[in-house]
Structure 1
Amino acid sequence: MARRGGGPVQPTVDLAYPFEGRWLTQNSPGSRVPSHGTTLLATAYAIDFVPVDEAGRTAPITLGSLLRPEPPERFPGFGRPVLAPVEGAVVAVHDEEPDHGAYRGLPSVRYALTQRRRLAAGWAALAGNHVMIETGDGTVVAVCHLLRGSIGVRPGQRLQVGEELGRCGNSGNSTEPHVHLQAMDGPDPSRASAVAITFDGHLPRNGEVVDARGS
């Protein structure tokens, strides 16, 4: 059973996909651990989902995409509903970070050079706008990079699986609109240990398109 403060954790927490429609899997622990190249901030088993169109594609790359930041509104999933992946109580809400431009090509290289500054600024600068949900056994699930002003839940609120948390944004440490999820054994990522996750008993690998329509 999970317990706060770095105590014993259950091997895996099973989640529902926090969306409907088609989303591309990136940085999956099904492909490597640590999934994001670091164990900092309890991210060892974190996973990213990028919303895509019916053909499984994100926004088309143009010459401008390679030279300058793009408005996040160009991307097919910006503003899509993001849903609670687990039943539990909201223990934290942060909804103050701006949604910035998307970075591909040369802008992504420049953005990568500012990674150290965002890390030094702490969890909120990396997670952007986010919601944390605590399950009955103490596991905390964080849903990150939400659209500023879209979060409709509050601390202490009880949630059921599938209730809307907010909308997909591009806040925090994000190069294009997507959703980042991670599970931990406590609400403070700087002190918590990562908890492994699955989705309905499955863990998609990098490049797999999840179609959660009708789920």
Structure 2
Amino acid sequence: MTAMVLGIQVFLPLALLAWLLFLPARSLMGFAAQSAGTGAMLFALARVAQWALPVWWLPWVYGSLWLGLVIFRAAGTRLDKRPVLPDGTWGWTGFALAVLLCAVGGWYSVRALMGRSVPAVEVVDIANPLGPGRYLVGNGGSNAVVNAHLTTLDASVARFRPWRGQSYALDFFGLGPWGLRAEGWRPAEPAAYAIFGAELRAPCAGTIVAAEGNMPDFEVPEQDPVNRLGNHVVLRCGEAEIVFAHMRHGSVSVASGDSVVEGDRLGEVGNSGASTEPHLHIHAQRPAVEGAPPISGEPLALQIEGRFLVRGDRLVGR
């Protein structure tokens, strides 16, 4: 995982910027394609990648550097002195690479932006459930490019059916000093993560239909693939259920059958269940049919205070 993150979110953007800095195209068409291709790839990476690791504001740095380099290179040579078309093998090779980057970056950018559209399902609008702090959306949106949970909508895959209700789920990371999600790159201790211990409150009035608080919090990256929810609360609000998963051991303060009003304390974020590091998993669903797995109900879209949150968005707790 570390190698993949470094490759996609550090080395690839730096390589694109270095290409623009040290090997700028000599022709007008080549430079325009090179600028557009590198820009499209950087924008796609900014919208598609999870920027909890290394840090959420790094794409803004890359974007600023890209804009500065384009202006610097455009101003460094008189445009009327440049040939219009690429020249020679290297010129056309660079142009072809730039066009490929435009196509790939453009496709992923469009898909990521389409993921901001609210899906054509019922939408449940809730209050902010997170206590004081700043939070980053790691998964969220209406397609699999920005929300890994969407894969469970595929009813043809038998192993997805028991947790199909979580298909439009949101995952939240915490943001600590300098926007870092943890004290270190990937510490083993759950308490080193900014979101660990963050307070959770009822986002709507309703009835607790399930609650579990005695499962252990694991060191990173250990997890429990069998008891996937870990410590959790299922809150029924009207005809929908709001599911909170991966809560902290011993923090759940409600029990099945309890009635709650908006703002009542539910517990804290932890690292239990199928969680690779501390985060909050929250989703909305229809109640599962009797005898079926608890999160196999019909998935619903979720809005928090009127916002349909997508990967990369940030939320301030209340």
TM range (shorter): 0.7 to 0.9
Change (3 A) 1:202 1:34: same
1:147 counterpart residue number: 248
**Percent identity between the two aligned chains:** 31
Match of 1:126 among 228, 232, 245: 228
1:70 counterpart residue number: 188
Match of 2:281 among 170, 180, 186: 180
CA RMSD of aligned residues (A): 2.3
Q: Is the 8 A contact 1:185 1:193 kept in 2?
A: yes
How many angstroms does 1:189 deviate by? 3.5
Counterpart code for 1:14: D
SS, match of residue 171 in structure 2:
strand
Match of 2:123 among 2, 6, 12: 12
Q: Is the 8 A contact 2:142 2:150 kept in 1?
A: no
Change (3 A) 1:151 1:135: same
How many angstroms does 1:51 deviate by? 1.5
* Cα shift readout 1:22-55 (whole Å, capped 9, x = no counterpart): 0110110256476424223112101111112153
Alpha-carbon distance between aligned partners in 2 of 1:45 and 1:130, rounded to the nearest angstrom: 17
SS, match of residue 228 in structure 2:
helix
Counterpart code for 1:17: N
Q: Is the 8 A contact 1:100 1:171 kept in 2?
A: yes
1:38 counterpart residue number: 151
Counterpart code for 2:126: L
1:202 counterpart residue number: 307
Q: Greater RCO between the two (CA within 8 Å, min separation 6)?
A: 1
* Cα shift readout 1:72-97 (whole Å, capped 9, x = no counterpart): 01112211211112221000011221
Alpha-carbon distance between aligned partners in 2 of 1:133 and 1:190, rounded to the nearest angstrom: 12
2:184 counterpart residue number: 61
Unaligned runs of 5+ in 2: 1-120, 153-159
SS, match of residue 24 in structure 1:
strand
Counterpart code for 2:299: A
Alpha-carbon distance between aligned partners in 2 of 1:177 and 1:190, rounded to the nearest angstrom: 20
Counterpart code for 2:243: A
TM-score (ref. length: structure 2): 0.53
Q: Is the 8 A contact 1:29 1:44 kept in 2?
A: no
Alpha-carbon distance between aligned partners in 2 of 1:129 and 1:45, rounded to the nearest angstrom: 20
TM-score (ref. length: structure 1): 0.77
Say whether residues 1:48 and 2:171 are aligned partners: yes
1:101 counterpart residue number: 219
The structure that has the greater radius of gyration is 2
Indicate the structure with greater strand content. Answer: 1
Change (3 A) 1:30 1:23: farther
Change (3 A) 1:85 1:55: farther
Counterpart code for 2:202: A
Q: Is the 8 A contact 2:172 2:279 kept in 1?
A: yes
Unaligned runs of 5+ in 1: 1-9, 104-110
Q: Is the 8 A contact 1:97 1:171 kept in 2?
A: yes
SS, match of residue 183 in structure 1:
strand
1:5 counterpart residue number: none
2:50 counterpart residue number: none
Change (3 A) 1:13 1:35: farther
* Cα shift readout 1:144-189 (whole Å, capped 9, x = no counterpart): 1110111111111111122110111000111221110011110443
1:7 counterpart residue number: none
Alpha-carbon distance between aligned partners in 2 of 1:143 and 1:190, rounded to the nearest angstrom: 11
Alpha-carbon distance between aligned partners in 2 of 1:46 and 1:90, rounded to the nearest angstrom: 19
1:162 counterpart residue number: 263
Structure 1 stretches of 4+ moved >3 Å: 30-35, 187-191
Alpha-carbon distance between aligned partners in 1 of 2:212 and 2:315, rounded to the nearest angstrom: 27
